[in-house]
Structure 1
Amino acid sequence: MSVGTGGAIVRPLPRPGATATLVCLSFCGGGTAPFRPWTAALPGDVELALVTYPGREGRYTEPFAADWDELMADVVAAVETLKPRPFVLFGHSMGARVAFDLALRLSRHAGPQPSAVVVSAGNPPSDRPGAPHTPPADRATDTELLSWMRGLGQLPDVILTEPDLRRMAVDTCRADLRVLQSYRYAPGARLHQPLYVLCPQDDESMAPQAPHGWAALASGPVHVRTLPGGHFYTSAGWQGLPEHFADVWHRHGPRPAPAYRAGQLRHD
């Protein structure tokens, strides 16, 4: 495993000869660990690059980002250190919003451009603050935050039995919620890359109309796929999740999923 400059980029299995990179952006309160096994689900010529937000894992001694703009400045700087090869952005839950805004910021800064953006289990960033299905506020109690995380399936039981781990989980989640609540969608902002929307079938945190909302934020093709399971799909489904957007690597994987065309919504 290799860690990039400042610990912001983690490569679980470095592939110097890779021809493309999958960049993963984590969920609220999360880190890079859930994505590391994906090296087995990727083609041999695709390298996995995981963005570590400030305040966790190898960046534990750093302060959490104070607000959305500070987090995004950090993420942009991390992605701009990647090797100059084609890359795809993947964001899960809060990471979906990070991926969307990252693609927009890279475009404005004339930086490296993603070949595609994949959003998973995330509501569209155009949703107004406080809308149904949004996460709790950062001022929620520790008990409420632990219950919310456990309900999503992101909190292993071992954390609940270890006071130090429980405190770390709550602090990280609260910091991310504070950052998330400072995000404001700029009306009219749209992606120009192909957009893939992955929807867990039984995820109560994702609004039923979320795919329609995402489609309104893209000027290119939008591919939608509904998969079994809750917020993190099934265990086997999560492990093999990259296989559901394998066509972004061109010669690998299935044919593209059905897309939104002329305002029509079609699911795979």
Structure 2
Amino acid sequence: MPKAGPARWFLRPVPAEATAALLCFPYAGVGGSSYRDWPATIGGMTVVPLQPPGRENRIREPRPETHQEFARSLAAALSLLDGKEIAFFGHCGAVPFMLATAFELAAAGAPLPAWIMASSWGAPQAGLYGPLNFVDLETYDFTTEVVEIAAGLGMRMSPELVGMAAEVFRHDHVVQRRYRYPTPQRVPVPVAAVGWSADDVVPPDVATTGWDEVATTRSFVLTGAHGDFLRCPENLQHLVARLVREPEQVWPANRT
């Protein structure tokens, strides 16, 4: 039976016996299936790819027009996980949506993630990152961009799928342009800021600088390129497991 309502946010059903869930936010232009190569669990946490409206199996649903709309909808779904510990992972353009969700949960007095991992995205108060967030959205060829990304991942897409993906990709960047970090608020949960050593989209020094101005932060640089997170390499798995199992050794005792 198809999932209904808020449960559609979870690409896979969350097992009732799971005690902790790592919620994985898709980056610009893609859906939850982008996490298909991740293991089912990491460090005892069940990996839960999120599926926002307007993409993949939710393609007919209206896409959120703001980060706040996205966050309110997801917050309703997270109430279904009451009693489970949660954490967030987001890469590049997913990070502002992840932050908006954390702020929405805090404002509602709802349970917060134990921590969030922000991969390949710099300090949010400084603006946006990555070259596509600065192109002319009216003239940029997102169709070619989708084809080139798919080719780089070894994927072949039908013209119909390319067209739909390009429209989602463009829409995500339109929404992203409106993002403004809510200065002077601090992120209500600890942040693991992750850079990748060979990242040519958001270099590691950019991804790991300035976060401490708005959050309790630890910065990490992992060996790899911008898209290597898609296969969840061992170094990323080890870091997630460390955050789960040894939080007192990762985060300062005087969190603010």
Pair 1:184 & 2:170 matched: no
CA deviation profile, 1:190-220 (whole Å, cap 9, x unmatched): 12422111111122221533312222220x3
TM-aligned CA distance change 1:116 to 1:234, over 3 Å: closer
Amino acid in structure 1 at the alignment position of 2:66: D
- 8 Å CA contact 2:38, 2:230 repeated in 1: no
Select 1:150's aligned residue among 148, 151, 160: 148
> How far apart are 1:86 and its partner, in Å?
1.1
Amino acid in structure 1 at the alignment position of 2:166: V
Select 2:242's aligned residue among 244, 247, 256: 247
Where do residues 1-268 of structure 1 align in structure 2 (5 Å cutoff)?
3=3, 5-10=5-10, 12=12, 14-43=14-43, 45-128=44-127, 133=131, 135-137=133-135, 139-141=137-139, 143-144=141-142, 146-147=144-145, 150=148, 156-159=154-157, 162-207=158-203, 208-218=205-215, 220=216, 222-233=217-228, 237-238=232-233, 241-250=236-245, 256=249
TM-score, scaled to structure 1: 0.79
SS in 2 for 1:105: helix
> How far apart are 1:183 and its partner, in Å?
1.2
- 8 Å CA contact 2:119, 2:207 repeated in 1: no
Instruction: Measure, in 2, the Cα distance between the counterparts of 1:89 and 1:154.
Output: 26
Instruction: Measure, in 2, the Cα distance between the counterparts of 1:237 and 1:48.
Output: 11
TM-score, scaled to structure 2: 0.83
SS in 2 for 1:8: helix
Instruction: Measure, in 2, the Cα distance between the counterparts of 1:154 and 1:69.
Output: 32
Q: Quote the residue 1:265 is aligned against.
A: none
Amino acid in structure 2 at the alignment position of 1:199: G
| Structure possessing the higher relative contact order (Cα contacts under 8 Å, 6 or more residues apart) | 2
Tell me which moved more, 85-94 or 74-83: 74-83
TM-aligned CA distance change 1:239 to 1:94, over 3 Å: farther
Instruction: Measure, in 1, the Cα distance between the counterparts of 2:192 and 2:151.
Output: 23
CA deviation profile, 1:247-266 (whole Å, cap 9, x unmatched): 23226xx995597x9xxxxx
Instruction: Measure, in 1, the Cα distance between the counterparts of 2:150 and 2:162.
Output: 16
The alignment-based identity, stated in percent, is 22
Instruction: Measure, in 1, the Cα distance between the counterparts of 2:236 and 2:3.
Output: 23
Structure 2: which 5+ residue stretches go unaligned?
none
> How far apart are 1:8 and its partner, in Å?
3.2
TM-aligned CA distance change 1:154 to 1:147, over 3 Å: same
Instruction: Measure, in 1, the Cα distance between the counterparts of 2:86 and 2:251.
Output: 22
**Alignment length (residue pairs):** 253
> How far apart are 1:106 and its partner, in Å?
0.8
Of Structure 1 and Structure 2, the greater helix share is in 2
Amino acid in structure 2 at the alignment position of 1:193: V
Structure 1: which 5+ residue stretches go unaligned?
262-268
SS in 2 for 1:248: helix
SS in 1 for 2:87: strand
- 8 Å CA contact 1:152, 1:231 repeated in 2: no
CA RMSD of aligned residues (A): 3.3
